[in-house]
Structure 1
């Protein structure tokens, strides 16, 4: 291993010494795009490593789609000085961790930042391979338990990729040392750890959780290979059918007490096996990689976009100003300016930047998406143009989940094409199962279709895959709202039926006062009213009148039965005794 590192470092030093020019090049492989200031050969080498890692996953999981919907961009800097212009500000202070790379995931792209002069690292690509593994596992996040998700990421991060072979699963000496010095977590507890568990968030408990997840994954992987068994794949198969993780473990691995004893013994042994794969036949042809020089504004636009995604806003804006001064038609610079304005809450400015980006390049799916999303959020823009832009974004990148979700929300807000909206939401969830927003929106569409039971089913499924306590709390709150709303409606219906049954028969000639408002079913075109609710007046048992006052003329609304009105709002829980005149105003 040390020989390989020494050769790699020698190779890097020769390249960086010869690349004294600050010019940047772009290298495109079939599945990655890289920019670097270390020269063409170094850029090709890095992408060769990443393409081989992708080949490892494709070989190990041949039926899986190993390519994410959002593109993967790599920025490889030749030294620490260049790296520091892009790394998170938290790591710039003296005494902080010396980063060699990081993986940055956003809703519309994935960034890998690498420092090519990192020295003394046994596995210089470890953090990249770790996060790349999570990216590969993201579509299984709705059924994969955290211990296995993190265990596999820890397992693959210690991968060494050479020209003609790959070493997988080398032991983690840091994890082994930590486990030998601390009591391990009982396996039933480890297997049940979820996003709300202190074992996933508290530093000391988290450390043992990660280390033990690696050790258990490593033990089962090696045991399966040595004994020609398939316990781990059996376990994954049961999980994919949404079996309880502990029950599935007992069925796949046997007695968990015996497994724990075997794991404890495994941790203390002196030697460990790992996997060896021949990559000589990997269909990776470096000569096919496309290389082109970048102008400084082109490179700076990419670097500015990374800084924006990393929330180094001031540095990003400064770089963008210089880019647009030299290249006023740089599409990425317009997109990134739109993103910065959007993040700062200046939606009109963001909309303007994205609109200009669309005009400069109608083939930019991100510009199309964000222009439509912001227009929808602000209530500006033409409905036909918004729908057209979202459909264009889907056509340009069918794997980009937010476009489907946004178009579904567009239909849901207008209460039209709801069946199509449901299909769009389902597609968004299938593309990104871990995004809670898509599942919450899917539930809202089902409520619009008056399918509360189906909405609850979607939300309870979402609750089982929530990754953070905050996500779990949001989903649980929505479940509580719907269940309490159903309870209130059922009670009101029962009370109305009881009152009707207790009232004496009234002859036809003694007709009571007719309802104040028309009673026919709503008909005609549907409209969207945005504003603040005022002048809420309740008349009789269930009649209600109100006004919605916004930027345009006030809109008056009424109903003879407010219990038939679906009302939802953030941080709102419908109470059993629900009085709109007190609740809805404002």
Structure 2
């Protein structure tokens, strides 16, 4: 009964692939299947499901790090929604070659990225690499922050989305203390050698792949977005409150100049000079939290091996949601998984019967209705970033957008905005925890003063640093 049911549901997923795509999926797509020697495991933590072909210890450590990061956000952002109503599916690939088989295509070429967040109506997907000589934790913190923002705000400017994700990406924590907002060394060094984007252009920039394919602009966008968020967070509660009002104005459709004047009571040019001065000084405060009680994180995890059919089904599902260009590859994975199951292998439990499980019934109508989704135009969006592969290397972001949507839908204007001020001020208020002594710990500020050119870009730690 289980095998028959799963086969029918799996076939339904294949039927969702347009017939013309099925006809075009031939040897090229079938060649995209991973090597048969690939061993995949599934890890279930308290809040995440991880699929990985990386070494088990490496994948487990990343899962525990993400649980710790989530716990800190939950403790200090208790008025916001930490967990998504959709399941969190994380794919950790052992190396760049393995990751690239499931990477985005931009202009027919592989995107220069090492991690991605995809918010869909049925699931959230995070993909990343676990290369042995790089620390992948900033990537996974960055991507989870995108989910955190997506859970609480209907529409967000690109600079705020990426800047806040970068701000949280340097999280460091254990059971006694944590620090948030440490400088991103690559961004500090990048800004030392590159001119800033005009602030008006930065604030109005949407997720446009053409913008990010130009290396210098893409690198500066990430670095300057991080610097702007850092500036807004590190200059006292008044500035943070003004930042919340500014974001409110943007979401409500006010022009950039009008929003700045209404929130900060200064013209755009003055704010731009303040940001330039902040970057030039190179002194970036960060928040350090000391927990008054032993901070407990549920780091229990269950690990099991996956059959080839299961791993192909999960990878096919990922490709199916990624972008239209990957549909032939998705079909090749799904058909092979179905063939293995019909041949008598273990049922491919990895595929999700989303048509059955993710559709809910509206009590007011005898019709199925979707659960809460991300904003229009963003349901198939993908944030992509370059990992911390070395100082000065840029990170890019490219979004795959649903076809057929007009500009207003792509920009998320089709939905009434969430009352943003309380959400924005909460997202911007991590510094205030120590001032009011709320939550499970206290907070103090540290600083690092990166050298502007040459030497260690992180510089010497200040008196308040870890």
Query: Same fold by TM (over 0.5)?
Result: yes
Matched, 1:67 2:51: no
SS of the equivalent of 2:284 reads coil
Matched, 1:330 2:376: no
* Structure 1 counterpart of 2:375: 433
Give the TM-score normalised by the residue count of structure 2: 0.59
Q: State the alpha-carbon separation in 1 of the partners of residues 198 and 129 from structure 2.
A: 39
Deviation at 1:152, TM superposition (A): 1.2
CA contact (8 A) 2:249 2:259 kept: yes
Deviation at 1:257, TM superposition (A): 2.9
Q: State the alpha-carbon separation in 1 of the partners of residues 181 and 272 from structure 2.
A: 20
SS of the equivalent of 1:286 reads coil
Structure with more helix by fraction: 1
* Structure 2 counterpart of 1:284: 297
Q: State the alpha-carbon separation in 1 of the partners of residues 58 and 128 from structure 2.
A: 12
Backbone CA RMSD of aligned residues = 4.5
Query: Cα deviations across residues 474-520 of structure 1 (Å, max 9, x unaligned)?
Result: 759xx9xxxxxxxxxxxxxxxxxxxxxxxxxxxxxxxxxxxxxxxxx
Deviation at 1:104, TM superposition (A): 4.4
* Structure 2 counterpart of 1:248: 259
Aligned pair partner of 2:125 in 104, 107, 111 = 111
Matched, 1:148 2:160: yes
Q: State the alpha-carbon separation in 2 of the partners of residues 148 and 85 from structure 1.
A: 27
Q: State the alpha-carbon separation in 2 of the partners of residues 152 and 60 from structure 1.
A: 16
CA contact (8 A) 1:194 1:467 kept: no
- Superposition pairs of residues 65-464 of structure 1, within 5 angstroms: 65-77=81-93, 79-80=94-95, 83=98, 86-88=101-103, 100-119=114-133, 121=134, 123-139=135-151, 142-162=154-174, 164-194=176-206, 204-224=216-236, 230-236=241-247, 244-255=255-266, 256-278=268-290, 281-287=294-300, 289-310=301-322, 311=326, 312-313=329-330, 314-327=332-345, 329-330=347-348, 332-333=350-351, 364=353, 366-368=354-356, 393-394=359-360, 431-435=373-377
Which 5+ residue runs of structure 2 have no aligned equivalent?
A: 1-36, 381-399, 414-466
Query: Cα deviations across residues 354-384 of structure 1 (Å, max 9, x unaligned)?
Result: xxxxxxxxxx4x1327xxxxxxxxxxxxxxx
Structure with more strand by fraction: 2
Q: State the alpha-carbon separation in 1 of the partners of residues 99 and 209 from structure 2.
A: 35
Q: State the alpha-carbon separation in 2 of the partners of residues 270 and 185 from structure 1.
A: 18
Query: Cα deviations across residues 260-316 of structure 1 (Å, max 9, x unaligned)?
Result: 2221112122442222234674442224x3444544544443344334445233355
Deviation at 1:197, TM superposition (A): 11
Deviation at 1:232, TM superposition (A): 2.7
Deviation at 1:217, TM superposition (A): 0.9
Tell me: CA distance 1:125–1:317, structure 2 relative to 1, closer, same or farther (3 Å): farther
CA contact (8 A) 2:51 2:90 kept: yes
SS of the equivalent of 1:153 reads helix
Q: State the alpha-carbon separation in 2 of the partners of residues 368 and 103 from structure 1.
A: 24
Q: State the alpha-carbon separation in 2 of the partners of residues 96 and 86 from structure 1.
A: 9
Q: State the alpha-carbon separation in 1 of the partners of residues 217 and 78 from structure 2.
A: 35
CA contact (8 A) 1:130 1:154 kept: yes
Tell me: CA distance 1:22–1:145, structure 2 relative to 1, closer, same or farther (3 Å): closer
Tell me: CA distance 1:206–1:50, structure 2 relative to 1, closer, same or farther (3 Å): same
CA contact (8 A) 2:188 2:282 kept: no
CA contact (8 A) 2:91 2:126 kept: yes
Tell me: CA distance 1:44–1:282, structure 2 relative to 1, closer, same or farther (3 Å): farther
SS of the equivalent of 2:86 reads coil
Q: State the alpha-carbon separation in 1 of the partners of residues 343 and 277 from structure 2.
A: 64
CA contact (8 A) 2:308 2:337 kept: no
* Structure 2 counterpart of 1:516: none
Deviation at 1:214, TM superposition (A): 1.6
Which 5+ residue runs of structure 1 have no aligned equivalent?
A: 1-20, 336-363, 370-391, 396-403, 409-416, 439-465, 480-586
CA contact (8 A) 2:115 2:128 kept: yes
Deviation at 1:166, TM superposition (A): 3.0
Q: State the alpha-carbon separation in 1 of the partners of residues 295 and 154 from structure 2.
A: 31
CA contact (8 A) 1:23 1:37 kept: yes
Query: Cα deviations across residues 388-440 of structure 1 (Å, max 9, x unaligned)?
Result: xxxx8315xxxxxxxx7xx99xxxxxxxx7xx99xx98x86x642244799xx
Query: Cα deviations across residues 168-191 of structure 1 (Å, max 9, x unaligned)?
Result: 222233333443444434434433
CA contact (8 A) 2:42 2:305 kept: yes
CA contact (8 A) 1:166 1:276 kept: yes
Q: State the alpha-carbon separation in 2 of the partners of residues 249 and 281 from structure 1.
A: 42
CA contact (8 A) 2:43 2:51 kept: yes
Deviation at 1:330, TM superposition (A): 3.5
Answer with 1 or 2: which has the greater Rg. 1
CA contact (8 A) 1:70 1:108 kept: yes
Deviation at 1:202, TM superposition (A): 5.7
Tell me: CA distance 1:23–1:325, structure 2 relative to 1, closer, same or farther (3 Å): same
